[in-house]
Structure 1
Amino acid sequence: MSGSDGEGVNGPVEKPRGEVTVEEEGRLLVRVRLPLPASARPRLLLQLRPNKGKPEETGRYVELEPAGQDQWRAVVEAEPALEEGRWDAYVVGAPGEERTPLLPGLRDLRALVSGGGDGRSTPVAVRIPYATKDGRLAVRAWWRAMHAEAGRIVLADDSMTVTARLFGARLGEGAAVSLNRRGQNSAVRQIALRAEGGQDFSFTVDYGDLVAEDGGPGAGDAPVFWDVYVRAATGTPRIRVARLLDDIADRKAVFVYPVTVLDGVSARPYYTVDNDLSVEVAPRRAR
């Protein structure tokens, strides 16, 4: 129990806080302030957050090494890559001990800001440390054998034009972009792709094509969502268009694009909770 003044040897113990530096090639350097004797053998635990209703699987353990008075450090190497998802960070003092969540400290993400260049290796593996909504330290991870990185999005009166770069595949004959309507009443809109040199390309989405015939919602319907993909060539697997190669773990609430109003509906591009690019077409609500 803590003393009446909340101080002294019986006072509350400060929870450990983790500072993270993203280094070249995706290594994570984690520094933890933790008052333990030098003989202790604490470990950093990265635990993949399971999908709803699924059991938790074994996490990734990394030894914490002494790095000064009450200071410890761990290096999470780039290999093996973290599975795509959200990894919560904990400290475990000894085998069988209860894990303690890490609070977020300073995060040096400068190595991520420049994004991916022409020489970026594939598969594309991304790790972004971030603070969760409930104030804990976590790592957002993506792993994609093939990836289409969305760049600039330019909005016009009734369309949007997107520039992008392809990783893990080469543009060939029959390359095209498709928008796939989410849900049971699926539909597909095929869109021409413009090669911009190397692995860069661009495409323009006419919002009118998304509301024609079986595309858009009725006046009283729920919004319709179109997910954006690209095929590098005829007969190749489709590749999700997303924005992953920077320092933003959750893009959906950060990049909010203006709404375009068409006849009876509105349309806007947006990023999903997985930072994938989609288009929302919604009924225009009466005010």
Structure 2
Amino acid sequence: MRAELSRIDAEDVLELRLDSDHGDQGGGLALRRHGDGEAAIRVTDLEREGARVRAHLAGLPIADGVWDVLWIDGQGRPAPLSTRDTGLSLADRIAYLRGRRERELRALRDRDGRLRVRAATATPYAEVGWVDVDAGTGTVTVSGVLAYAPEHRGTTVTEVVARQRGLDGRLSAPAELDGARFHCAIPLAPIADAHVPERRHNEWDLWLRTPDGGQDLRLAMLADDIVGKKRKIVYPETVVDAGDAGERAGGAAVRIRPYYTVKDDLSLLAVEHAGGDR
């Protein structure tokens, strides 16, 4: 049995479009933990209309890990379900991120074309959708959506917080929340002003403060499933002059640019400007 389409929607419903209806109205689905022939969960809430299947996964005891999707034929015999669908739709992923949830379910296709479901504990964060470096205004603008966090009604003013890694530096700037969407412009002069020249690299990790102040959400770009952005996405840097930043140790100009960490979190990197092109 093979699916042409296999997606999990925002309600944790696994939507399948099979390559044909196979005339098998007695079919069903089960999830079996990958590598464990004993741990299987039968999907009891199943809708089927011809080649289309909707399997409701919410409420099932799916532990963190990878699960094989099995097709159960009319005689109760299980077989791995294959798929042509890679499972990646950025629009679907962004829709899935919106709203609070405790568990994340993803539909995946392995290298052999078999359909799997990956379950993981959902950790709230701020999904980055756009980053712009403006040397003219000396700002880095970031926008995106809240992920797995409560959505606030209307427009709210909050803060983006930059924390100096390994040191006690902390800076903040206004941020705007419109429902689940956020937007902020981070001034770079205060980053340069707080630069510690004794450290070759000054890293500033970026967090979005929720309006109630109860939680800071790490800025990150995770929805596209592209790992290793640190070497794949390089943003332009800008030089902040001493006069722009005010008094600071050494008085040297500082180069600042956004970058992604090894975990694909968004941070700012500041290093002393050695002269030359700006």
Tell me whether 1:127 sits opposite 2:135 in the alignment: no
| Distance 1:266-1:233 versus aligned 2 partners, 3 A rule | closer
In the superposition, relative to structure 1, how do residues 81 and 43 fare at CA in structure 2: closer, same or farther (>3 Å)? closer
From 14, 17, 36, give the equivalent of 1:28: 14
Provide TM-score, normalisation by structure 2.
Answer: 0.56
The 8 Å contact of residues 264 and 283 in structure 1, kept in 2 or not, is answered as yes
CA contact (8 A) 2:127 2:145 kept: yes
Question: Which blocks of at least 5 consecutive residues in structure 2 are unaligned?
Answer: 73-78, 240-252
Q: Which runs of 5+ in 1 are unaligned?
A: 1-15, 50-55, 94-99
1:145/1:264 CA distance change after superposition, 3 Å: closer
Deviation at 1:129, TM superposition (A): 2.9
* Residue correspondences, number: 243
Q: Which amino acid aligns with 2:163?
A: N
Pair 281,131 (structure 1): closer, same or farther in 2 beyond 3 Å: farther
Find 1:203's aligned residue among 184, 193, 199.
Answer: 184
- The reply to whether residue 180 of structure 1 matches residue 163 of structure 2 is yes
- Residue 256 of structure 1 corresponds to 233
* SS, match of residue 59 in structure 2: coil
Distance 1:261 1:106, change over 3 A: same
1:206-234: CA deviation from partner (whole Å, max 9, x where unpaired): 4454453348941xxxx554332122246
Higher mean C-alpha deviation, range 17-26 or range 159-168: 17-26
Matched with 1:277 is 266
Q: Which residue of 1 aligns with 2:243?
A: none
Query: Hey, what does 1:152 align to over in structure 2?
Result: 130
Contact 1:187 1:214 in 2 (8 A): no
Per mean C-alpha deviation after superposition, the further-off stretch among 165-174 and 225-234 is 165-174
Residue 86 of structure 2 corresponds to which residue in structure 1?
A: 107
Post-superposition offset of 1:153: 1.9
Contact 1:181 1:225 in 2 (8 A): yes
Counterparts in 2 of 1:24 and 1:162: CA distance versus 1, 3 Å: closer
1:45 equivalent among 32, 36, 55 = 32
In structure 1, distance between residues paired with 2:41 and 2:160: 41
Cα distance, 1:77 vs. partner? 1.0
Quick one: distance in 2 between partners of 1:229 and 1:81?
Answer: 32
Query: How has the CA–CA distance of structure 1 residues 210 and 134 changed in structure 2, closer, same or farther, with 3 Å as cutoff?
Result: farther
The alpha-carbon deviation at position 176 of structure 1 amounts to 1.8
- C-alpha distance after superposition, 1:85-136 (max 9, x if no partner): 763537699xxxxxx998763235559437339x954237543334568987
Asked if 1:267 corresponds to 2:257, the answer is yes
The aligned residue for residue 150 of structure 2 is: 168
Look up the equivalent residue of 1:278 and give its one-letter code: S
Q: CA deviation at 1:168?
A: 0.9
CA distance in 2, matches of 1:208, 1:168: 32
Percent of pairs with identical residues: 17
C-alpha separation between the residues in 2 aligned to 1:198 and 1:164?
11
Residue type of the alignment partner of 1:168: P
One-letter amino acid matched to 2:258: R
The Cα shift of 1:163 comes to 2.0
| Deviation at residue 196 of structure 1 after TM alignment | 5.3
Per-residue deviation, residues 165-192 of structure 1 (Å, max 9, x unmatched): 444164999832212344xx24343322
Q: Do the aligned partners of residues 74 and 261 (structure 1) sit closer, same or farther apart at CA in structure 2, a change above 3 Å counting?
A: same
Amino acid at match of 1:270: Y
